Every structure is written in C-alpha cells, then in structure tokens.
Structure 1
C-alpha cells in the first residue's frame, strides 16, 4: 500500500513542474461556518488542476524504453492536461482519449500542451476502454488518472504542503472521483499528523466510493450524472479503495445544487473561480455534511479551476436559484390593455428586478382571451421569493415556479 516515503520521493520529482499553491485563510467562509477555514487553492496550479502532480511523477518513473514508446491516457479533461504538459516537459509523446462530452475548453487546452487528442465515448469509462486499446496497439504506457501508486503519490504532495503551511490543521476536506487524490493526501496527512481528520466528498450523481464503503468492496455504478465532470467516475480504483477505507475518516455526498451554490459563492465572495469538482469540499462544509466544532481548523482542497464557460453560465444560474437570488415564473393574464402593467406593478412593489419577459397568446392550453407570461426575476433571497409569491397569489395570480 502507498506509504509516506512514496509521497516524499514524488515531492522531489515534481518540484520543478508543479507549483507550490497558496493556502489562504478565508474570513468570509470562516464567518459563515463558525470554523477557521483555510482554502487550499490548487485551482491556481499549472493546467488549472492538481493532476499535473501525479502525471509528472508517473512519467518521470518511466524507463528509457517506455519513454521512447510514449504514453496514453483517458481523461475528462484535467488529467489530460496534466499528462500533456508533464509529457511535453519530459520529451515524451502523449496521446489522450477524452469523452466526446468533454468541455471544449479542456480539449483545446490539452492540445495546446502538445498531446494528440482522441475523442471517444460518452464518459470517462468509455474513453478509458479506447485508451487501453491504443496501449496494446501502439505499445504505449498507460498513465492512469487515479489507480496507480505513483500517480497517487504525486497527488499526495498537496497533503505535505498543507501540513507545511498549517501544521495545526484539524480537518482536510478533499474531492473524490476515482480516489487517487484523496488516497495520496490521506497517506501524507495520516503519516505526519495522525489526529488530523480527512473527509472525502463525492457528488450524489457519482457516489461510487460512498456506495463501495457501505458494501465493503469496490462497486461500479451504472451511470454518472453531475455537473462536477472532474469526479464523474463510475468505479473507484482497485488500489485507491483500500487506502480510502483505511485512512479516510468519512465520505459524504453533495447535490448539484449545493455544488452550484459553492461555485457561485466562491466567485462572488471569494473572487475565486473553481470547477464543480473543485467546489465539492466547500459545498460539504457550507451544507453541514459532516460534524465539526466551532473554530475547528478546516482546509477544503479546491483542486480544479477548469470550467467550461457555457457550463459556468448554467452553474451560476443554478447557484442563484438555490440561494433565492433568481427565479423564473409563469402565469396567465387576461388579454386586455393594462394587464401586463398590473402584473409589473405588483413585482415592482415587491422590489423584484425583471431580467426578461416572454408574452405568448398562441398557447393552445390557455383560453382564447388570455395570454401566458413567463418572467425571469432577480430576487434577494429565499424569504424575498416567498414574499413575492405570496403577493402575487394574494392579487389573484395563479403562479407556477419554473426554476
């Protein structure tokens, strides 16, 4: 099983490739949670993700023959970029298989770091199957995204940095996809600070580790469904699972709405952009998914900042909806002069800001003398939303909340 010595060796190998990322005390999230919150800003890492650490460590352990034959891997995006840059820095040819659904920004970034990109399948697991075919066909070395001890050791260098910066840390919160990141971090943390708690976080729609721990062995799930594409993995690693079971204190899950809220809050309050997978540790803390004490020193590891701009728009909207900052409603008006003005007056009195109005007389599900109206509204929180809906219903409007 992976040991501290492996992580220390990895630290030497990757020191000239991976940045030593900041550990930043957050007044905002400390005030909100009552804990002492320090954000590990691995989203500022080269390639925008922690993956460069494990990829560089693996590639630098290749034999001369393996390096000459090149490497191949599968990734939803972050590992792809890590392998591409690490291979380029070591003069090794790299081929990366990415799901056809991978964000275009991650595909372009991977190519820009020098790797050949092959698009295949609908998710990581399908891409991985094709990558193994290329491994056999072309004699390349497969660089696994998580189920490899040298990769796990490289990721564990984050744990060393956290303890170097903040030896009094009491809880470290880490995202889990296939388990490589948390296996490495937990190995480093538990070896040097056994009393420090390590909490893993998965998305509800990709909770393979949480389910595997309940059953006592690695289990695959049929499909993944989450905005956190970086941890959308159907099966925990065979090598990572024993490490998680032995060294991780708790594993919890968060919903996509909770992830979106955390991304939005980090943007608005922390001026920091993270992807969905990078936000899950903070989401778990904000939503009270695990028990902690007042003033407990907690480090959420924000381990990725590569988010597609189209997805970011959706995530921000979901975050605003979840926090009561945005609402879309539908109602039906009499098709007469002044009816829309009357509705707008109610909204104005309730101090709701109108983003957009769609006015439709052609819907066959409403009366001939009626018009359907959809409104996108900016609101100021959950209480404001409830007051607004009460005001509309008191004035006789039959209101349907769309989002």
Structure 2
C-alpha cells in the first residue's frame, strides 16, 4: 500500500511505502502496530529527556510513545517494559515545538475554544469556573458587543478525566465549549490568528502587567481590576 502523503515531523519514519524486506519482517514478528500523533511523540521526547537528560529525535521516541500508549490502554502497573530509542537528529528550532506540545501529548494540558458573553466581568467569571488551575495560554480579541470567542489552555493534574470535568462545569455554567486538544489545525494555526484592530471599539487602552506565575494568579489579577472594565 502506498500513502498519498506523509507527515514530516517524525521524518525518520516518514515513508509513503514500506520497504519489501521491512514489511516481510514485520508481518512475521510484529504483533501490533500502534498509531501515534505528534503530541504523543513530543511527550515521549520529554519523558526520555527527564529520565536520561538525552534528547532523541521524533522518530527515535516512537517506541517510548507507543509503549506508553499500550501500557495506559492495558492498565499495566509494576511491569518491566523495554523500548529501543535511536536517533538524535534534532535541530534547535524544533525543540521549541516539542516543548510546546509535550504537555498536550502527555495530557498535562488542555486547549479549549469557549464562547463567553462580551460584557465587563465575564472573563473573571469564566476564570472562576476554571478554579485555581494554572492557565498557560489565553487568546482573545474584542470582535462584537454580544459574544467573545476565546482560546484557553490550562494545566491538568489528572489528565483526561480532569479535562472532561472542566468541560462539564463550563457547559453547566452556560458556556459553549469545543475541545481543541486534539485538533491539529487549531494547535498549529488558529490559536495564533486572534488579534488585530477591533472594529467599532473606541477609547481602547493598552497596558502591560507582570504578575507571579502560579495557579490562581490570573484570577487574583482580575479580582484586583474588578468588573468595571471590559478586557
């Protein structure tokens, strides 16, 4: 079978057609093929680095990423597992992408698209629903006088179950929520396309603030501003 196109992130294994000898060996000896996305590979690169202080290329981390996925699926605990890592063809520019996506791949971060009312204080109310979770990214630009469309990333301590809990809480509070954590287009492009001039907005002021990087700091900042201002 020949694929029409392949991704280039894990370029060491990016082939449109598997070699005949390789295919024959896999058919004889491989029990299962595990499908992985780029974020899961990034999380595996981070795991290898944190355990060994060595950096492997995306293709070199495939075995670790696949082993993690199978272990989670089978609920393995206390087993001795082995993964072969090979290849360190990693350029410095790619490391930023890996670092940015590793937490999403390891289910330590979630990315949501949320519609909130466009009125003073609504951002603060939204953050109250998120609680004291660490908000890692927030993208928003004033567009109309009725609703605001935002992208928000926040840290997770308990993986997918915690993310689902937050989504349920947001929807129960009346927010429209779309989970973008596995949407490749949103992660690559859409989250960075918010901005520009706001139509119909007058007397806008621009400020730059610095506050502590800790859970709950953004909510404390919004409490200090109060509900008089429309951010």
- What TM-score results when the alignment is normalised by the length of structure 2? 0.62
* Counterparts of 1:295 and 1:391, CA distance in 2: 34
Q: 1:254·1:280 contact (CA, 8 Å) conserved in 2? A: no
Select which of 12, 28, 37 maps to 1:230: 12
Select which of 69, 72, 80 maps to 1:287: 69
- The aligned length equals 177
Aligned equivalent of 2:59: 277
DSSP-derived class of the 2:15 partner: coil
Q: 1:331·1:399 contact (CA, 8 Å) conserved in 2? A: yes
Shift of 1:301: 1.6
Within-5 A mapping of 1:301-340 = 301-340=84-123
Aligned equivalent of 1:253: 34
* Counterparts of 1:299 and 1:339, CA distance in 2: 50
More helix per residue = 1
Distance 1:299 1:379, change over 3 A: closer
- What TM-score results when the alignment is normalised by the length of structure 1? 0.38
Select which of 150, 163, 168 maps to 1:390: 168
Select which of 353, 376, 379 maps to 2:134: 353
* Counterparts of 1:330 and 1:294, CA distance in 2: 35
* Counterparts of 1:240 and 1:385, CA distance in 2: 40
Q: 1:263·1:316 contact (CA, 8 Å) conserved in 2? A: no
* Counterparts of 1:376 and 1:338, CA distance in 2: 20
Distance 1:342 1:252, change over 3 A: same
Distance 1:337 1:271, change over 3 A: same
Q: 1:259·1:283 contact (CA, 8 Å) conserved in 2? A: yes
Select which of 247, 261, 268 maps to 2:50: 268
Q: 1:356·1:376 contact (CA, 8 Å) conserved in 2? A: yes
Distance 1:240 1:375, change over 3 A: closer
Distance 1:297 1:308, change over 3 A: same
DSSP-derived class of the 2:148 partner: strand
Shift of 1:330: 2.3
Distance 1:284 1:339, change over 3 A: closer
* Counterparts of 1:249 and 1:372, CA distance in 2: 46
* Counterparts of 1:386 and 1:240, CA distance in 2: 41
* Counterparts of 1:400 and 1:246, CA distance in 2: 40
Which string of whole-angstrom CA distances, capped at 9 and with x for unpartnered residues, describes residues 232-264 of structure 1?
12233355555x268744452331243333223
Aligned equivalent of 2:156: 379
* Counterparts of 1:319 and 1:356, CA distance in 2: 15
Shift of 1:382: 1.8
Within-5 A mapping of 1:28-107 = none
Q: 1:321·1:327 contact (CA, 8 Å) conserved in 2? A: yes
Distance 1:301 1:393, change over 3 A: same
Which string of whole-angstrom CA distances, capped at 9 and with x for unpartnered residues, describes residues 71-115 of structure 1?
xxxxxxxxxxxxxxxxxxxxxxxxxxxxxxxxxxxxxxxxxxxxx
Which string of whole-angstrom CA distances, capped at 9 and with x for unpartnered residues, describes residues 144-165 of structure 1?
xxxxxxxxxxxxxxxxxxxxxx
Q: 1:254·1:283 contact (CA, 8 Å) conserved in 2? A: no
DSSP-derived class of the 1:337 partner: coil
More strand per residue = 1
DSSP-derived class of the 1:230 partner: helix
Shift of 1:356: 2.6
DSSP-derived class of the 1:360 partner: coil
Which string of whole-angstrom CA distances, capped at 9 and with x for unpartnered residues, describes residues 97-137 of structure 1?
xxxxxxxxxxxxxxxxxxxxxxxxxxxxxxxxxxxxxxxxx
Distance 1:295 1:384, change over 3 A: closer
DSSP-derived class of the 1:327 partner: strand
CA RMSD of aligned residues (A): 3.2
